[in-house]
Amino acid sequence: MQARTGLVVGTAGHIDHGKTSLVRALTGIDTDRLAEEKKRGISIDLGFAHLTLPSGEQISFIDVPGHERFIKNMLAGVAGIDAVLLVVASDESVKPQTREHFEICRLLQIRYGILVLTKIDLASEGQMAETLASVRNLVAGSFLEKAPVVRASAKTGQGLEELKQQLGMLGGQITRRSAVGLARLPIDRSFALKGFGTVVTGTLSQGRLRAGETVVIHPIAREARIRGLQVHGQAVEEAIAGERTAVNLTGIDHGEIQRGFSLTSKAGLEPTRMFDAQLEWLDAKHVPATRRQALIHLGTAEIAAEVKAFAGSPYARIRLSEPVLAVPGDRLIIRRPSPAETIAGGVVVDAFPKHRMNRAKVLARLDRLARADFAERLEILIEESASGQRLSDLVRLTGAPPEAIRAAVAQNSALLFIDAAQRAVSKKLIEQKRRELTQWLANFHATNPAAAGAPIAQVKRNLDPAFADAVLDHNLSVIIRGDVIALRDHQPRVNSGELAALAQLEKAFRQAGFQPPFAGEILKNTDPDPKKARGLLETLIKNGKLIRLSPDLVYHADVIAHIRNSLAAHKGRKFSVPEFKEWTQISRKYAIPLLEYLDRVHVTKREGDSRIVL
């Protein structure tokens, strides 16, 4: 399937410079599909065609209108192209829309293209030389500075074979888009086809789409199922990044979808109403001193917005009048609504900027994000959060699939992914929390020197449950025994009064035999201070004098030893709960916890309602 992927090439240039005629001459397809276009003899909306070169290379053409009134349609087309044919009529030379289309392509960071001088059958050698000089002057210092020049006539066919050869050579230079990751299809058409229903089209910018899968339409967050796929009019089971794709959908009406929407994998992407961007202004006079109304062109969408530039920097905050799907790295164009004019272009740096952050911090953060690759961006997002980032949030913030995020976190020695919480955290954060825990335990031991440690439940309440286990697991500075945690080098210190209390407490449990009262009842008579009494109990448990069977049921170790020794003499014997109650003369509320404990320490094994002595 990867070998099928071709190039998406867009036309650009002034009205009536022969863009549509050139595409028709190359492909045999008339991209003017609207009745109004045929009546007026000009392109109004986007047109689409395709060509297979002798090498097998497939070229998808997006023919854009050249009239300034339809610049928004032109922008919806060039957003998805890999290369541009900058078309200039030999007999007319560079015109206003030639310049604006060129600047738009440059601002969108299109890297490849061919300069096509059309209508050579109507121009003299002198006119062609002047036109070429003007074109070279226009593109000097840009991505088209060294682009090949093809002189062509759609009428006579001259130059068309050379243009095809240049397109083939272009195909060998351009890196194909990645078919890995979340599928994203900016929608440029939505219509109903008799017998099929809803169909949307667009250039698949990344990932793969497969027939039968469920997708999401943004920004309306509607799910739909792919009934079928077509690439260049041919039915396929899978479409991959870089292909002009028609998607037949079920579960949604075509009237609910419009140009500017996006079709994506079902993976947690979210539209935004505000983002920060790095911009290039075509003229310093366009940089707004205050908030300015503008039109934002992002993907195939045109949205009214408010632009606020951060003075002295290349960054701006853009507030949208309606939500749009945007991820870091997406290119955009800014136009002034009246008089209509392209004034800037740039790239989305942060699709969900932080609020309540002062200007200096915002700019420092944007500088880091703008320079960061994917792995570095993840590290920034994770480390700046006080509790790490949930995997679902990282998908939303980066536009990357969960598996790519997990892999990048795993490869970063500074980060940790916690499977149980589906959260990525900084190892610096874990170490900080461990230091805080160490200090907290040191204070606890100083206040409760006789206690074996602090209740683990109390410690966990003080930790974010998302990463509590990460703080406690493999923490060499602490030791956990049962439900008590202490510093590893802690040794309970007791005075003479506490020694007497310990002896009294141990005696109480020894004398209670097989039916001790619940721990809380005994502790009430041990020390009026509940914390001290609990600390004495934990000390005896840590020292092995007492054994905890459950949070409230504690036995003296001698009693447990007696039971184990008695059962050891009957190895292999099967007995029931009533028999055990009769032997020990205890009630069911003691018998069941005792037997469950004996099962845990492998003295007995449960089989149905009976036990077997191991």
**Of 553, 558, 598, 557, the residue nearest 580 (C-alpha):** 598
| Best CA proximity match to 230, nearest among 217, 255, 249 | 249
Give me the mean pLDDT over the 415-435 stretch: 93
pLDDT > 70: percent of the chain: 94
Q: In what order do the strands lie in the sheet with 484-487?
A: 454-455, 484-487, 478-481
Q: Which residue type sits at 159?
A: G
User: Is 481 inside a domain boundary?
Assistant: no
Task: Kindly state whether residue 429 falls inside one of the protein's structural domains.
Answer: no
174-183, 189-198, 268-277: lowest mean pLDDT where? 174-183
Question: In the numeric block, which tokens belong to residue 610?
Answer: 């009976």
pLDDT of residue 34: 45
227 shares a domain with 287: no
Q: Give the residue carrying structure tokens 């192209």.
A: 81
- Of 214, 244, 265, the domain-final residue: 265
Could you tell me if 318 and 396 lie in one domain? no
**Contact criterion met (CB below 8 Å) for 281 and 344:** yes
Q: What are the tokens at 384?
A: 């700046």
Whether 170 and 7 have beta carbons less than 8 Å apart is answered as: yes
Residue 436: inside a domain: no
Say whether both 366 and 352 belong to one domain.
no
334: domain CATH number is: 2.40.30.10
pTM for the whole structure = 0.77
The HSE-up count of residue 59 (CA atoms within 13 Å, CB side) is 29
Q: Looking at the predicted structure, is the pLDDT value of residue 457 above 80?
A: yes
Total count of residues recorded for the chain: 614
* Peptide linkage before 219 cis (omega within 30 of 0): yes
Compute the distance between CA of residue 450 and CA of residue 431 in angstroms, rounded to an integer: 28
Q: Do both 155 and 11 map to the same domain?
A: yes
Q: What is the CATH number of the domain that holds 514?
A: 1.10.10.10
Spatial CA neighbour of 13 closest among 76, 61, 107, 85: 85
Tens-place pLDDT, residues 295-320: 999 999 999 999 999 999 999 999 99
In this prediction, residues 341-369 reach a mean pLDDT of 93
The whole-chain average pLDDT of the chain stands at 88
In the DSSP assignment, the letter for residue 206 is: B
What is the DSSP annotation of 170-186? HHHHSPPPP-SS--EEE
Which stretch of 52-61, 125-134, 275-284 has the lowest confidence by average pLDDT?
52-61
Q: What is the mean pLDDT of residues 280-284?
A: 94
pLDDT of residue 530: 67
Specify the 3-state DSSP secondary structure of 84: strand
pLDDT tens-digit profile of 195-228? Answer: 889 999 998 988 999 999 999 999 999 999 999 9
Which of 107, 139, 173 delimits the end of a domain? Answer: 173
For residues 243 and 312, state if they share a domain.
Answer: no
Which domain range does residue 375 map to? 362-424
Q: What is the pLDDT of residue 286?
A: 92
Position 528 pLDDT exceeds 60 = no
Do the domain assignments include residue 499?
no
The domain that holds 6 is classified in CATH as 3.40.50.300
Closest CA to 31 of 43, 18, 16, 13: 43
Number of domains in the chain: 5
Q: Which residues contact 31 (CB under 8 A, 6 or more apart)?
A: 20, 23, 24, 43, 47, 48, 49, 61, 63
- How big, in percent rounded to 5, are the helix, strand and coil portions of the chain? 35, 30, 35
Q: What is the pLDDT of residues 85-114, one digit of tens each?
A: 999 999 999 999 899 999 989 999 999 999
Does residue 296 sit in the same domain as residue 353? Answer: yes
For residue 583, being part of any structural domain is answered with: yes
Write out pLDDT tens, residues 576-594.
Answer: 999 999 989 999 999 999 9
Q: Does the pLDDT at position 2 exceed 50?
A: no
43 occurs within a structural domain: yes
Tens digits of residue pLDDT in 377-387: 999 999 999 88
- Same domain as 145, residue 74: yes
Asked whether residue 123 falls in the same domain as residue 204, the answer is: no
Same domain, 593 and 569: yes
Cα 37 to chain centroid distance, Å, stands at 41
Q: Convert the pLDDT of each residue in 19-64 to its tens digit.
A: 889 999 999 887 655 455 444 454 545 778 888 888 888 888 888 7
**Mean pLDDT, residues 564-572:** 91
Reported confidence tier of residue 1, pLDDT bands at 50, 70, 90: very low
| Amino acid in the structure at residue 274 | M
Rg (CA), the chain: 36
Q: What's the start-to-end Cα distance of the chain, in Å?
A: 62
472 CB neighbour count, 10 Å cutoff = 18
Q: Is the pLDDT of residue 77 over 90?
A: no
Q: How confident is residue 69, by pLDDT bands cut at 50, 70 and 90?
A: low
Residues 126 and 202 grouped into a single domain: no
Given 173, 206, 229, the domain boundary residue is 173
Q: Which residues pair with 42 in a beta bridge?
A: none
d(CA 114, CA 167): 8
- 15 with 89, same domain: the answer is yes
Co-location of 331 and 258 in the same domain: no
Beta bridge partners of 228: 248
Distance of alpha carbon 548 from alpha carbon 597, whole angstroms: 9
Residue 488 has pLDDT above 80, yes or no: yes
Residue 449 covered by a domain: no
Task: Tell me, yes or no, whether 534 lies in a domain.
Answer: no
User: Packing angle between helix 374-383 and helix 402-410, nearest 10 degrees?
Assistant: 80
Task: Give the residue among 293, 209, 296 at the shortest CA–CA distance from 260.
Answer: 296
